[in-house]
A and B are shown apart, each in its own frame.
Chain A
Amino acid sequence: MTSLLATVAIPDLLVFLLGALLCLVGAVSILTVKNPVHAALSLVMTLFGIAVLFIELQADFLAAVQIIVYAGAIVVLFLFVIMFLGVDREEDLAVEPIVGQRPLAAVLITALMASIVALGLVGHFEVGPATQTGMLHGGAGNVADLGRSVFTTYLFAFEATAGLLIIAVVGAVVLARRNNPDDHVAESQVEELA
C-alpha cells in the first residue's frame, strides 16, 4: 500500500474512493431495496460512480457517454417498464428458498473478491510494475483516440458489436412476438420455474 500512496496523489485517491464507494453502495442497494423503482435508481448511482472513475482516469468522453447512455437512456427504459408493470409490486425478500444461501453467498463473494484482490496485490513482474496499463493522456484527445481505435485496432470488434446488437434485437423480437394465443404458457408456470 505504501508504494501505491507514493505514486498516487492524495486528491486522486480521494476521488477514486468516492467513485468506488458510489459503485459499491449502489450495487448492494440494488439487491437489498424492496421497491423496484428504488433499485433502478440505485443502478443510476452505480453507473454514476463508474462515470466518476472514468473521469479519474481522464477518460472524459467515456464518462459523458456513461451518463448519457446508461444513466440517461437505459435506466429510463427500465423505469418505463417498471412503471408499466406496476410500481407497487414489491418482492418479498424474506423467504429463503434454500436455507443458509444468503450467508453462504456473502461468504463466497467475499472470499472471491478477497482472493482476487490478494492476487492483484502479490503480483509483480521482475521488470516493471504489476500492470502494463496506465491513464489516457489528455482529456481533449479522448474522442479522437477513441474514434481512431474504433476504426483501426478495434475495427472488427466494432463491426462484430453491430452484429451482436442485431442478434439481440432479433432475439427480443422473436421472444416478444406471440401470434398464437395457444402458445402462451401459463404465467404462473413460468414464474414457478424461474
Chain B
Amino acid sequence: MNHLIFLIIAFPLLGGVSLIAMSRRVREPLAGWVATAAVGLSFLTTLGVFITLLGSHSGGPSHAVTQHLFDWINVGALHANMDLTVDPLSITMCLFVTGISTLIHLYSIGYMHGEKDFTKFFIYLNLFVASMLILVLGGNMLLTFTGWEGVGVCSYWLVSYYFQKDSAASAGKKAFIYNRVADVGFLLAMFVIFFNEHTLTYSKMTAHMSSLTLTMAVLALLFAAAGKSAQIPLFNWLPDAMEGPTPVSALIHAATMVTAGVYLLCRMHVVVSASPTGQWVICGIGLATAFVAATIATSQSDIKKGLAFSTVSQIGYMVLAVGTGDYVAAMFLMVAHAFFKALLFLGSGSVIHALDGEQEMGRMGGLRKYLPWTYGTFLFGWLAIIGVPPFAGFWAKGSVLDAVFGKSPWLWAGGLFTALLTAYYMSRLFYLTFTGSARFTEQGPNGEAAVAHPHESPWTMRLPLVILAFCSIFGGLLNLPWVHGFGLEAFLSPVFGSSLVVPADSMTKQFLLAGADALVAVLGLTIAWVLWRGRSERPELTPAFLAKVWYWDNFYDTIIGRPATALANFTAEVVDPLVLDGAVDGTAAAVGGLATRLRKVHNGQIRSYGVGIIFGLLVILVSFLVVVG
C-alpha cells in the first residue's frame, strides 16, 4: 500500500484538473459527484494506508513510511525532494481531512444547487483538498510550504467565490493578505532552520542551535501558524472569511485549513520543544486567543461569525496544548473539533439554506419545529463543543485542560474560564437559533423578506450532518483517558518521542479536573438559558466593544492601515515622481545614452570590427606584460 501514498493527493488533484479540462461540458450535478468521488477515493486510499501502517506499527518502533516520488530541488546543500511521509501524525490528519472533505463535498452538492459557477466551486474544493494533503504529507518544510501556499490560494478563491459582492471580494483579499504576512514567518523559520541544520527534512531535524536561534525559529513558526490558524495577532481575517459559501466555512475555515498552523507546530515538535521560552509564548498566544475570541463570540449576531470566533477560540486551545508539550491533546482536540465544528457549520448552513440566506440570529428562532434533522444533529454538536460529558468535546477539551494544569494552574484557570464563556456563547447561539418564537415569519425591520415555511434540506445535506453528529457523540472514544495502549495517545506518542509531555495525574485529580470541566459546561449552559430564554436581543450583554471585535480592525487600521496609506500617498506623490522615477528614468537614460554611444561602434565596417579585436588583444597582452615584466 505504501507505494500508493501519492494517490491520496493524486485523486483530488486529478478530480480538480479533469473538472477544469471539462468545465465547459460538465454541469450540475455531475461535477459535484465527480469531485465527491475523487475525494472519497482519496479517503479510501488513506484508509488503506492507515491499515497498512497499523499493521507495521505493531511490528516495531519504526512507524514512518516515506514515498520518494522524485528529486525536486537539489541545489547546494538543499535537498528538498518530493517525499510524502506517512506517520501516525500525518495519517491522522489525512484521515479526518479526507473523511470530512468527502462529507462536505457531498453536502455541497445540495447546498450549491442552482449556483451559476457550480463546477468552479468543486474545482476549487478539490484543489484545496489536494493542497491540504500536500501540506500534511510533505516530508520537508518546502513541500509543506507548497501545500501551505496552495491552501491559501484556494481559500482566497473560495472566500471570494461570490466576488460580485464587494464584501466577499474584500474578505478574500483580507484573508490572503493576512496569510501572506504570516508566510513571512514560515519563510523566516525555514531560513533559520536551514541555516543551522542544513536540512528542511522533518526526520533529519535535531534542534542543535543556540537557545536564542531556537526561540527565533519557534517564534517565526508561531507567527506562521498564527496567520493560517487565525491566532492573535493575525486572527481577524477568519470572521470575514465567512463571506464564502458555508461548506467552505465548514471545511476550510473550521475543520481543516485553519488547523494547519497547529499541525505545523506539531510537525516541528523537535524544534518547538527545545525552546522553553518559545513554549511559554505559544501558551500565552493560545490562551489569549482562546479568551479574546470567546468574549467576542458572546456578542455576535451573525450565526456564522459566532461560529467563526468559536473556531478561533478552539484553535487557541489547541495552540495552548502545543505550548504545554502535550501534542496528543492538541491533535485530539483538532480531530474532535473538526467533527463538531464541521457539524455546527453545516447545520448553520442548513439553517441559512432554509431561510433563503438569512444569517442574522435576530431573524431566526423556533427552528426546532421546522428543521428536525438539523436541530437534532446541531444539538449534539452544541453539547460536544461546550464539553458536556460524554460527548467528544468533553474528552478532548478535558485532555487539553489537564495538560495545561500540569504546566501552570494559572493558565488552567484562564482556560477553564474560557470554557465557561464557550458554554455560554454556544448555548446562546443555540437558543437564539432553534428555540423561542419564530422571528422570520414576518418581514424584518430592515426590509428582510419573510419566510413562511422553511424546508428541511435534501438528503445529500442531511447525511453528512448525521454522520458528523455520530462522530461528535462518540469521538471521545478515540482517546479515553484511562485506556492506555489504545487510541490516539498510544498511536501518536511514538511520533513525538521525548518531545511529548503527558500529565501524569492521579485518578482523583483527573476526576476533579474532569468534574470542573463538566460543571463549567453545565454552568454556562444554565446562565445562557437564564439570560437568553425567549429573548432575541439584549444590548447590555452584547457591548459594542465585543461586537466590534475589541476594535481590533480599527486598531490595525490606526497603527498600520493609516500610516501605510499615508506612506503610500507620500511615496506616490513625492518619492515616486522625484526619487524613483528619477532613478529609473536616470538609469534608463544612462543605459540609452551608453547604448547609443556604443552602437556607433557597430558601423558595419569589417575594418573597424577588426580594430575591436586587435584593441582587445592588445589590452590583454599589455596587461600580461605588466604582470610578468
- B418 CB → nearest A CB, Å: 84
Within 8 A of B (CB), among A47-64: none
A104 CB-CB contact with B under 8 Å: yes
B564 CB-CB contact with A under 8 Å: no
Comparing B26-34, B93-101, B618-626, the segment that makes contact with chain A is: B618-626
A122 to B625, CA, bound (A): 8
Q: Is the interface of A mostly helix, strand, loop or mixed?
A: helix
Interface string of A88-105 (1 = CB under 8 A from B): 000000000110010011
- With A118-B629, A122-B628 known to touch, is A112 a contact of B608 (CB < 8 Å)? no
A155 CB-CB contact with B under 8 Å: no
- With A98-B608, A108-B611 known to touch, is A123 a contact of B628 (CB < 8 Å)? yes
CB neighbours (8 Å) of B618 from chain A are 108, 111-112, 115
B588 CB-CB contact with A under 8 Å: no
A115/B621 in contact, CB under 8 A: yes
A107 to B65, CA, bound (A): 75
A105 to B621, CA, bound (A): 17
CB neighbours (8 Å) of B614 from chain A are 108-109, 112
B486 CB-CB contact with A under 8 Å: no
CB neighbours (8 Å) of A118 from chain B are 625, 629
Q: Is the interface of B mostly helix, strand, loop or mixed?
A: helix
CB neighbours (8 Å) of A186 from chain B are none
A10 CB-CB contact with B under 8 Å: no
A8 CB-CB contact with B under 8 Å: no
CB neighbours (8 Å) of B629 from chain A are 118, 122
B615 CB-CB contact with A under 8 Å: yes
CB neighbours (8 Å) of B606 from chain A are 194
- B619 CB → nearest A CB, Å: 10
A101/B607 in contact, CB under 8 A: yes
A176 CB-CB contact with B under 8 Å: no
CB neighbours (8 Å) of B628 from chain A are 119, 122-123
A142 to B244, CA, bound (A): 93
A116 to B617, CA, bound (A): 10
Interface string of A115-127 (1 = CB under 8 A from B): 1101100110000
A111 to B605, CA, bound (A): 22
CB neighbours (8 Å) of A111 from chain B are 618
Interface string of B588-629 (1 = CB under 8 A from A): 000000000000000001111001001101100110110011
CB neighbours (8 Å) of A104 from chain B are 611
- B349 CB → nearest A CB, Å: 77
Interface residues of A (CB under 8 A from B): 97-98, 101, 104-105, 108-109, 111-112, 115-116, 118-119, 122-123, 194
Listed by A's residue number, 10 A-B pairs whose Cβ atoms lie within 8 Å are: A98-B607, A101-B608, A101-B611, A105-B611, A108-B611, A111-B618, A115-B622, A118-B629, A122-B625, A122-B629
